[in-house]
Structure 1
Amino acid sequence: MLLEVQVHALLKAYLREHRDIDWPHHLTIARLVARGLRIGRSSLIQTGTEVERYSLSYLIPALLTTENILLVVPEAWQVKLLEQDIPHLQNWLKEHQSEVELSQSKLMITSFPNWLSDRLNHLGHFPDSLPTVIIQAEDLETWSRQQLTLDLTPQDWLEQLQQANSQQHNITTVKVKITQNLYQHPPNPYGCYALDESIQIELESLWDNLGSLGLLSPVMERFWRQWQQGEQIFWASLQRETGQFHLFLAPHSVAGYLSQIWTRQPVVIMGQFIDKQITATLGLEDILQLNFAPDAQRELIQLYSPARFPFPNTPEFQFALYREINKLITNQGLVILVDDLPLKGQLAAILASEYGSRVQVETQDLPTNGILISGWEFWCEQAEPFWSPELLIMVTLPLPSLEHPVVASRVNYYKQKRQDWFRGYLLPTALNKMQKAIVPLRNSQGTLVILDNRVNYRSYGDDIIKALEPCARINNLS
């Protein structure tokens, strides 16, 4: 019996017994995953929903196939998979299909950083040709860049000084200049800074000199080698209390690193929402891509964005914001997403003075009618949605700030390539965050409020609305 047929029959029986599982795409996606595993064809699947909801679609095929399978999932999910989901499904399958030999040893689980490190460094922990299912495709570029980022620590500088005694004066001089240059930058919310070009030239000269003398430490040599490859993002962080700093180096594009590893095994890559540029971004070639959208009946949300609202960069915005939020607050739970730290603090203080303990900042311990004030990262990066509010307010669009040195460097990279840096980088990044943010809202079929009027008056507003579909625009909340 073909794996797809077996998966379809057993999953259908499972869903018949568990009628609380109402996601409509389980059977279709499970057959696609099963076929991909059986014939070794790589595929990229947009599920349109959260990991917790679509996990059956890859777990059932992975448990039924006779091949060894590798699941690449975030560490936050691994304990639940190993201790709850997989044992539960194994027991159910044993009861309902006695002919299938199920063995957890056939199913290996690791995180994406561990898997990528093994692939790039040829560590041999996971054999080539091992069918692999990778979860959260929308985060693969970020995770890959993090894995490829080099961090030059204070301890690395100390080891370099010990290895090159004859060059201690030159090394110390450059370190002092770096520190002085970093202190010239005012503190920012990101805690990281770009170094002046003159300092970068001095660093290049130092590394070149130490390299010619054979005195570069292994860490410094690796940093210098990657620097010489070009097209790198370079930035620094500073602990102002101690004067210690870290230097970071990461590639602008991860496609070249990833393209060499996709052909070593068949992969099924799954994610909530997949940007149309993802195949180029991740170096994926000749891959079957399938897109499933949120269910238009069960996951429809309402969208309200007042047309006559001040723009975020105007003096009138903050007063209008407080007034509008007060109008929107009812006895139901709501979430307010705001990344601006001073504004977040002011908003929390003002609302707490009126609504008391209902108002909480970035916590999962909430009353049912709680008012959660949160940054985008806290809300979006939870391992699973901990709350399905009736109302979600986005104060501004989550476009990356050009004040962040990493963002500024990536924008310059796009400009040098004569590419559209806004639609190629800033906008897709914002859409990814917005799509993640509204997943819990779809569970309650709640209302999304966007108080950033650029969604109504900028040319990219239509792209934002399209990315939030299925949604029904409304003119008021009365």
Structure 2
Amino acid sequence: MLEAQVHQRLKKLLRQCGRPGWPHHLTLSRLVARSLRRQDVTAIHIAPGSDPSWMLSLLLPLWMGRHPVALVASQPLLMRLRRVELERLAHAGLGCPLWEGADCPAEVPIWLIDPVQLLRAWRSGGLGERQVVVLEAERFEQDLRSAMGCCLTAEAWEQLRRLLPHCTAELAYEHEQLRRAVFAHPVNPQARVALSDAEQAPLRRLLTLADPLPQPWRCWLESLSPGWVSWAETDHQLLRWTLCRQPLEPLALLPPLPGRGLVLAGVPGPAQALLGALRHAKAVTVRLGDPPLQDPIPLFHPHHQPLPNSPVFADHLLDQCRRLMLGRAGLSVVLLDDDPLRQRLTSALAAEFGGRVCHQQPSPDGNGILCASWSWWLEHHARLPSPCQVVVAALPIASLEDPLTAARVRRWRLQGDDWFRSLLLPEALARLQRGVAPLRGQEDVRLALLDGRVRRRSWGQLVLDALQPTLPLRHLFPKQDIPRPGA
């Protein structure tokens, strides 16, 4: 059987690579091999902070089984696979025909694609009978949502004007009406403005006069349905705006996907939600334990902190960040999604600490202070130096000021579900775990939690549980005085 063959080969491969850095290699390889053989739906929960060598155990059954498979990963992860895991397999003498890009021939067993290419393959019928293996299941739904969506930029409007020269005046009028509607809304930290169907109806009627329409206009016109949400991304300084549309449930638009063999590997919270979106009751779900967490992270979480929406929060944040940065020799990271507040905090810290401070800079100094949004940090932290300190200025809970989040919440409310504890909080906890994962297994690190909601809300204990194991720090000790368990 494939499981037994993979088991023996993986043991030999791990011996060649040295001591394995992850305790579940053999279990993962057997699960993937069984799923390929049975062509079922399997969700494998990989705890945040796990050694990335787990991907080698997932790839080995694909290489040995030669089943027709579409291996889906984001572009940054595909780059890592090419440089690390695929090289290890080749060095071990495990060659397998591999196709990258569009239009994979049926005789090539492994097709390496990103979510955008997966969507194109599904639309064109190019997937055939291939099973689908998804790495980073925690971002799969959002990546599909972005791939299915469309944005109408200034260039798209100019393209439409050239296509419809007889409607130039009407197009200019509709563009101006939308512009006024967009900038009539107050500025918000998300820089996004929700647009109603009524505000877009005149443009829709005008577009029906043109046939055929080029992309992205055709996508925009075809997506005007209750399952989609529209908003405008604004730049009030330059008075620029972009009209965007994305589906609320992208997986519902891929109905054949759950009907084939499917392996989802990723962070537990979003991966479990992904199964719910697939509506697959017979899925096999396995949690492969926690990563090595023998050393708890020192957690600084003072009492009596203000809420993020209070008028004193900005001053509190600056005061605490000043204290936290003193005496730290490595990279410190401050995570905050409120863009205006983050910009002000960056400027204030730069006035205190000079050139050490940077804002979403992909090459910070070794002893730098990096201020970033959660999404930027999650996208780039694998390519940055390991931080000695992560400061969670505010939890990464999606804001209802974001039109996409508001639309998703409305749908959950209509279904009578607890939209906060079932939707927003699990997503936030998963992002929190991934954001602090670089601290795991490091020496002389510290995590600071400055969001007052953790102690003041009934769900605050769930946040602390998601961060375990931690070691409470009641004071900011010098490096040599940080207490240890049992001391």
TM-score, structure 2 normalization? 0.84
Aligned to 1:289, the other structure's residue is in SS state strand
Seen in structure 2, the aligned counterparts of structure 1 residues 202 and 66 have a Cα distance that, compared at 3 Å, is closer
What is the distance in 1 between the residues matched to 2:19 and 2:133?
26
* Alignment pair present for 1:246 and 2:253: no
Instruction: State the match for 1:267 in structure 2.
Output: 262
What is the distance in 2 between the residues matched to 1:237 and 1:310?
30
Aligned to 1:277, the other structure's residue is in SS state helix
Instruction: State the match for 2:346 in structure 1.
Output: 348
Measured after TM superposition, the shift of residue 388 of structure 1 is: 2.2
Seen in structure 2, the aligned counterparts of structure 1 residues 390 and 157 have a Cα distance that, compared at 3 Å, is closer
Instruction: State the match for 2:223 in structure 1.
Output: 226
Instruction: State the match for 1:91 in structure 2.
Output: 91
Report the more deviating stretch, 460-469 or 364-373: 364-373
Instruction: State the match for 2:202 in structure 1.
Output: 202
What is the distance in 2 between the residues matched to 1:175 and 1:4?
60
* Alignment pair present for 1:118 and 2:121: yes
Select the residue among 422, 427, 441 that pairs with 2:420. 422
**Deviations along 1:272-309, whole A, 9 cap, x unmatched?**
33334331224444211111242354464333321222
What is the distance in 1 between the residues matched to 2:415 and 2:437?
34
Measured after TM superposition, the shift of residue 422 of structure 1 is: 1.9
Aligned to 1:398, the other structure's residue is in SS state coil
Instruction: State the match for 2:300 in structure 1.
Output: 304
Instruction: State the match for 2:481 in structure 1.
Output: none
CA contact (8 A) 1:77 1:383 kept: no
Seen in structure 2, the aligned counterparts of structure 1 residues 175 and 109 have a Cα distance that, compared at 3 Å, is same
Instruction: State the match for 1:292 in structure 2.
Output: 288
Q: Residue type matched to 1:449 in 2?
A: A
Instruction: State the match for 2:103 in structure 1.
Output: none
Instruction: State the match for 1:374 in structure 2.
Output: 372
CA contact (8 A) 2:429 2:466 kept: yes
Q: Residue type matched to 2:87 in 1?
A: P
Measured after TM superposition, the shift of residue 48 of structure 1 is: 0.6
What is the distance in 2 between the residues matched to 1:162 and 1:365?
43
Seen in structure 2, the aligned counterparts of structure 1 residues 239 and 351 have a Cα distance that, compared at 3 Å, is closer
CA contact (8 A) 1:36 1:42 kept: yes
Seen in structure 2, the aligned counterparts of structure 1 residues 340 and 79 have a Cα distance that, compared at 3 Å, is closer
What is the distance in 1 between the residues matched to 2:172 and 2:74?
41
Measured after TM superposition, the shift of residue 328 of structure 1 is: 2.5
Aligned length: 462
Measured after TM superposition, the shift of residue 167 of structure 1 is: 5.2
Instruction: State the match for 2:47 in structure 1.
Output: 48
Measured after TM superposition, the shift of residue 449 of structure 1 is: 1.5
Measured after TM superposition, the shift of residue 133 of structure 1 is: 1.7
Instruction: State the match for 1:138 in structure 2.
Output: 138
Instruction: State the match for 2:104 in structure 1.
Output: none
CA contact (8 A) 1:360 1:373 kept: yes
What is the distance in 2 between the residues matched to 1:248 and 1:313?
28
What is the distance in 2 between the residues matched to 1:24 and 1:61?
18
What is the distance in 2 between the residues matched to 1:25 and 1:68?
25
**Deviations along 1:310-365, whole A, 9 cap, x unmatched?**
22222333333233223323234222112333432333333334434433332243
Seen in structure 2, the aligned counterparts of structure 1 residues 18 and 159 have a Cα distance that, compared at 3 Å, is closer
Aligned to 1:414, the other structure's residue is in SS state helix
What is the distance in 1 between the residues matched to 2:339 and 2:214?
39
Seen in structure 2, the aligned counterparts of structure 1 residues 355 and 410 have a Cα distance that, compared at 3 Å, is same
Gaps (5+ residues) in structure 2?
A: 99-107, 478-487
* Alignment pair present for 1:358 and 2:361: no
Q: Residue type matched to 1:469 in 2?
A: Q
CA contact (8 A) 1:48 1:272 kept: yes
Instruction: State the match for 1:12 in structure 2.
Output: 11
Instruction: State the match for 1:399 in structure 2.
Output: 397
**Deviations along 1:163-216, whole A, 9 cap, x unmatched?**
556655544432221122223234444443223565234345x25xx63x6757
Q: Residue type matched to 2:185 in 1?
A: H
What is the distance in 1 between the residues matched to 2:233 and 2:212?
22
Aligned to 1:382, the other structure's residue is in SS state helix
What is the distance in 2 between the residues matched to 1:134 and 1:64?
18
Correspondence 1:63-78 to 2 at 5 A: 63-78=63-78
* Alignment pair present for 1:174 and 2:156: no
**Deviations along 1:11-44, whole A, 9 cap, x unmatched?**
2233234335321111211121122223323211
CA contact (8 A) 2:22 2:51 kept: no
What is the distance in 1 between the residues matched to 2:3 and 2:233?
51
Seen in structure 2, the aligned counterparts of structure 1 residues 13 and 141 have a Cα distance that, compared at 3 Å, is same
Q: Residue type matched to 1:304 in 2?
A: F
Instruction: State the match for 2:27 in structure 1.
Output: 28
Report the more deviating stretch, 216-225 or 324-333: 216-225
Q: Residue type matched to 1:269 in 2?
A: L
Identity between Structure 1 and Structure 2 (%): 27
* Alignment pair present for 1:321 and 2:317: yes
Q: Residue type matched to 1:467 in 2?
A: A
Aligned to 1:295, the other structure's residue is in SS state coil
What is the distance in 2 between the residues matched to 1:245 and 1:178?
10
Q: Residue type matched to 2:139 in 1?
A: D
**Deviations along 1:119-156, whole A, 9 cap, x unmatched?**
1x1341x331x233210000111112112213334454
Seen in structure 2, the aligned counterparts of structure 1 residues 6 and 473 have a Cα distance that, compared at 3 Å, is farther
Seen in structure 2, the aligned counterparts of structure 1 residues 435 and 177 have a Cα distance that, compared at 3 Å, is same
Instruction: State the match for 1:97 in structure 2.
Output: none
RMSD, matched Cα:
3.0
What is the distance in 1 between the residues matched to 2:51 and 2:250?
24
CA contact (8 A) 1:259 1:283 kept: no
Seen in structure 2, the aligned counterparts of structure 1 residues 472 and 384 have a Cα distance that, compared at 3 Å, is same
What is the distance in 1 between the residues matched to 2:212 and 2:27?
55
Q: Residue type matched to 1:294 in 2?
A: D
Aligned to 2:111, the other structure's residue is in SS state strand
Gaps (5+ residues) in structure 1?
A: 95-100
